[in-house]
């Protein structure tokens, strides 16, 4: 029997309601944070609802023998439920996907040429586009990177890597391949600048949003979005060169 189910499914309804009330502000804050990078047609209320479903599933699936606290486990389930919902909504027209690829290539070319991450104005001039169109394409690019980072990085590789990074299998071969990928990712991250590594750490480790990171680094939220997108594109290029 799942120990988490034994413990958490048998607590009283009043206690469950207390836990839900305790988590609700965190769920709302996470939904708002995710909504900054999403189209306007995505409802924050829908994200909150998915988060609540993730919390409810935590009562049945939490296993304290794994070492993580219930709070830590539940927050991961909540965020995972929201991201799963957003991935199901994700659909990019072919022409927009083509423009996103062109933008990504332009970012890397201009960064090498200028010695810095290009802003929207510089990208617009290079691509002969309006700044507003560049901003729209970049926002969609960031959204895809955030919703499915593994698939995004390996989408141009026709090997097994996309399936591998998403696999839950624990066979010796899969474990070895995952360890090898982690090592290659670590090596790629070490080639980034200190500022780029800091942005990654603040977003993926400290789980701050772009606005919060911008305040720490003294730049705008939009600039952090540009830096994040450029760094992920650079990691993609570095990792695929090692495959």
Q: What is the largest CA-CA distance in the chain?
A: 63
* CATH code, domain with 10: 1.10.1740.10
> Which residue from 213, 179, 182 is spatially nearest to 196, judged by alpha carbons?
213
Nearby residues of 83 by Cβ (< 8 Å), 6 or more positions away: 34, 147
Q: Reply yes or no on whether the pLDDT at 138 is more than 80.
A: yes
pTM value? 0.58
Among 34, 61, 89, where does a domain finish?
89
State what percent of residues in the chain have pLDDT above 90.
19
Name the residue range of residue 141's domain: 94-240
pLDDT digits (tens, 9 = 90+) for 61-108: 888 777 778 888 888 889 888 877 877 775 567 788 888 889 989 998
The larger pLDDT score, comparing residue 220 to residue 172, is at: 220
C-alpha distances (whole Å) from 4 to each of 1, 52, 56, 66, 183 are 9, 18, 12, 10, 33
Q: Reply yes or no on whether the pLDDT at 162 is more than 50.
A: no
The tokens for 227 are 């830096």
SS3 content of the chain, % helix, strand, coil (to 5): 75, 0, 25
pLDDT digits (tens, 9 = 90+) for 192-211: 889 989 998 898 888 788 88
Residues 167 and 151 in one domain: yes
Q: Reply yes or no on whether the pLDDT at 147 is more than 50.
A: yes
Residues 111 and 192 in one domain: yes
Residues 71 and 142 in one domain: no
Helices 221-240/172-190 angle, 10° precision: 120
Residues 113 and 221 in one domain: yes
Contact 134, 103 (CB under 8 A): yes
The whole-angstrom separation of Cα 191 and Cα 28 is 36
User: What's the confidence (pLDDT) of residue 124?
Assistant: 94
* CATH code, domain with 134: 1.20.140
The whole-angstrom separation of Cα 31 and Cα 210 is 14
Torsion (CA) 135, 137, 140, 144 in degrees, nearest 10: -130
Between vectors from CA 65 to CA 62 and to CA 66, what angle results, nearest 5°?
Answer: 75
User: What's the confidence (pLDDT) of residue 80?
Assistant: 83
pLDDT digits (tens, 9 = 90+) for 31-47: 887 776 666 667 888 88
Q: How many domains does the chain have?
A: 2
Query: Cα 203 to the chain's mean position, in Å?
Result: 9
Confidence of residue 155 (pLDDT cuts 50, 70, 90): low
Residues 131 and 69 in one domain: no
User: What's the confidence (pLDDT) of residue 25?
Assistant: 92
User: What's the confidence (pLDDT) of residue 92?
Assistant: 63
């Amino acid at each position: 029997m799942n120990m988490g189910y034994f413990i958490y499914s048998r607590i009283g309804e009043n206690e469950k309601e207390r836990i839900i009330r305790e988590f609700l502000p965190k769920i709302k804050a996470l939904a708002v944070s995710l909504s900054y990078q999403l189209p306007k047609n995505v409802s924050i209320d829908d994200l909150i609802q998915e988060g609540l479903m993730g919390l409810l599933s935590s009562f049945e699936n939490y296993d304290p023998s794994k070492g993580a606290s219930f709070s830590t486990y539940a927050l991961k389930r909540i965020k995972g439920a929201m991201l799963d919902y957003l991935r199901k909504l994700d659909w990019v027209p072919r022409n927009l996907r083509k423009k996103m690829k062109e933008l990504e290539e332009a970012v890397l070319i201009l960064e090498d040429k200028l010695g810095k991450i290009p802003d929207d104005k510089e990208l617009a001039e290079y691509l002969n586009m309006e700044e507003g169109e560049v901003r729209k394409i970049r926002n969609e690019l960031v959204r895809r990177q955030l919703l499915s980072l593994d698939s995004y990085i390996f989408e141009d590789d026709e090997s097994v890597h996309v399936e591998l990074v998403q696999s839950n299998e624990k066979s010796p071969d899969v474990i070895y391949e995952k360890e090898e990928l982690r090592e290659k990712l670590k090596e790629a991250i070490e080639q980034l600048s200190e500022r780029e590594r800091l942005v990654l750490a603040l977003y993926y480790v400290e789980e701050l949003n772009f606005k919060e990171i911008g305040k720490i680094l003294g730049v705008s939220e939009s600039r952090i979005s540009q830096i994040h997108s450029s760094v992920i594109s650079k990691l993609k290029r570095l990792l695929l060169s090692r495959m």
